[in-house]
Structure 1
């Protein structure tokens, strides 16, 4: 299997590779550390084996047994895609992994000739919003009170990036 090494990640010793079914427990562990309502191993496994779902995982280069640094899962139906979830382990945050994972997903979608990519993000997640805006996402909707937070509820922002087909 061929991974996607990124120059920005070499100093961090991570390589981006496709997610495998046996990665489900690792994804659940990272998700649990980064989301208030985490998904289970079984939920991740069911997504990973779905033929419409693809994903990438950031692994420590040369150490497949180490806890991965992060992952992204997305679904592609016809020519529209949706980021289902993306998470970076707390100890691996602010090292460019989120950008590298999104870049891998965008490359995959370019090759699949997708025309549009959607995602939802908590309006209070400032680092994620900054990343998505840098990647060209625009807000196209808002779901008030969608996320449960320690201080109550916050809105989910629906964002879209139009993907250009190259012929």
Structure 2
């Protein structure tokens, strides 16, 4: 997927926060430790640093939700991160985003911390980020 396509999909999927821009995707993809996994209508973008993988963005087009594409992308991200030496994966998710928190919990993630006021909501308010982690077998 191109940075433009990633930004377009994120704009459709991220209703709870400001989506990444095309430039932000391009900058991240240019980094040597980036890892992008795509499936039809979904993607996971992260980075591998030493023995940790960090998910920076996961999005699924609303028209493709509940079809297993986000789960398939996340599973593929885990597998590729493992082959690149990662032993665990971290991510941040908006505290108010209950569906995303439940999705990650179903995939073995548990809350590991909280960042107060981390996310900017479209209405100008802020939301906490929950840091979630899981080991990679």
- Give your verdict on TM over 0.5: yes
Deviation at 1:38, TM superposition (A): 2.0
Alignment of 1:24-35 (within 5 A): 24-35=3-14
Q: Given the alignment, which residue of 66, 79, 84 partners 1:107?
A: 79
In structure 2, the partner of 1:7 is none
Q: In the alignment, which residue of structure 1 is the partner of 2:131?
A: 158
Query: Could you tell me which of 3, 16, 23 is aligned with 1:42?
Result: 23
Q: Give the structure 2 partner of residue 52 of structure 1.
A: 33
RMSD in angstroms over aligned alpha carbons?
1.6
Equivalent-residue separation in structure 2 for 1:112 and 1:148 (angstroms): 32
- Given that residues 115 and 130 in structure 2 are in contact (C-alpha distance below 8 angstroms), is that contact kept between their aligned partners in structure 1? yes
Please give the alpha-carbon distance, in whole angstroms, between the structure 1 residues aligned to 2:11 and 2:54: 21
C-alpha displacement of 1:151:
8.3
Please say which structure displays the higher CA radius of gyration. 1
Q: Is the Cα contact below 8 Å between 2:120 and 2:126 reproduced in 1?
A: yes
CA distance in 1, matches of 2:120, 2:46: 22
Give the superposition deviation at 1:138: 1.1
- How far did 1:147 drift? 2.0
Structure 2 partner of 1:136: 108
Residue in structure 1 matched with residue 58 of structure 2 by the alignment: 86
CA apart distance, 1:132: 0.9
Question: TM (normalized to structure 1)?
Answer: 0.74
The structural deviation recorded for 1:105 is: 0.3
Instruction: Choose 74-83 or 139-148, whichever is displaced more.
Output: 139-148
Preserved contact between residue 110 and residue 134 of structure 2 (Cα < 8 Å): yes
Q: Which residue of 1 aligns with 2:46?
A: 74
In the comparison of the two structures, how many residue pairs are matched?
134
TM-score in terms of structure 2 length? 0.88
Structure 1 segments unaligned to the other structure (5+ residues): 1-18, 60-68
